[in-house]
Amino acid sequence: MSVVSELRRGRYAELALVVATIVGLAAAAVHWIGLAVGGALVGVLATSLRRAVPQGLTFGGVAVALHVGIVWWHGALDALFSTGILFALTVGIGFVLPVLAAVGARALVSDD
């Protein structure tokens, strides 16, 4: 567990978070479970159970922002917003899955 403690508060805390985020995004690009994987990884790195919530939401936010950015890059942003409820669904999934996974994972791993 001290490894975990190190990763949460030590010198490499930020790096760990970045790596967790990248791994999570890579997984999410392949399958929606990746959103939960990413959420779980950043959740485990949270310094407290309470902090897991913003940690998970941030990961979700990055995933959604990346998604919107890719769509914008391909010139389809207007079409994206016009999908209305589907876009809302995308955003919802993008935040809810990671947050649930972050909190659940953090609750399983003990405090250091």
Partner 1 sequence: MNTTTRTVVAVGCAAALVTAALLGGSYLGLAAPLSGELYDSVSPPDATQVESPYGSASVWYDETGVPHIEAENEEALYFAVGYVQARDRLFRMDLQRRLIGGELSALVGEQTLDSDRFYRRLDFESAAEASWESVRDTDVGPSIEAFSAGVNHYADTGATPPEYALIDAEFEAWTPTDTLLVGKLISWRLSGSFADLRTETARARLGPNASALYPTSLDHEVPIIRDVDASDATPFSPASVVENASDPTASVEGDFGALAEWTDAYDADPTYGSNNWVVSGEHTASGDPILANDPHLGLSVPPVWYEMHLSTPETDVRGVGFPGIPLVIIGRTADAAWGVTNVGGDFTDLYTYDRRDGGYVYEGDVRAFETETEVIEVAGGDDVELTVKKSVHGPVIERGGKTVGVAWPGFSATNESLGVYRLNRAESVADVRDALRIWDVPAQNFVAADSAGNTLYYPAGRYPVRVTDGTVVRGDTVFNGSTGEGEWPGYEPYGRSSWDGFVPFESIPHVDNPDVLASANQRTIDDPPFYMGTPATYADPYRGQRIYDQLDDAASDGEITAETMKRLQRDVRSEAAASFVPYATAVEATEQMSPDARELAAELDGWDGRMTADSRAALVYRIWLDEFRTATFADEFEPAGMDEDYYPRLFVLQRLDADSQWYDNRRTLDRTERREAVAAQAMNRTAARIEREGWDTYGDFNRLELAHPFDREFLNYPERPMDGSRFTVFNFRASGETQVGSSWRMVVDFSETDDSVGVIPGGQRGVFWSDHYHDQLDSWADGRYKPLTLDRPEGEPDIVFGGER
> Binding pattern to partner 1, positions 50-89, x when CB under 8 A?
-------------xx-xx--xx--xxx--xx-xxx-x--x
What is the spatial distance between Cα 94 and Cα 4, in angstroms, rounded to a whole number? Answer: 26
Q: Which is nearer to partner 1, 41 or 94 (CB)?
A: 94
Q: Could you identify the residue written with the tokens 């890579």?
A: 26
90 binds partner 1 (CB under 8 A): yes
Q: Which of residues 15-44 bind partner 1 (CB under 8 A)?
A: 25, 28-32, 34-36
- Say if residues 101 and 60 touch (Cβ distance below 8 Å): no
What is the spatial distance between Cα 82 and Cα 57, in angstroms, rounded to a whole number? Answer: 25
Q: Is 89 buried (19+), middle (13-18) or exposed (0-12) by CB count in 10 A?
A: exposed
The residues that touch partner 1, with contacts defined as CB under 8 A, are 25, 28-32, 34-36, 49, 63-64, 66-67, 70-71, 74-76, 79-80, 82-84, 86, 89-91, 93-94, 96-97, 100-101, 103-105, 107-108
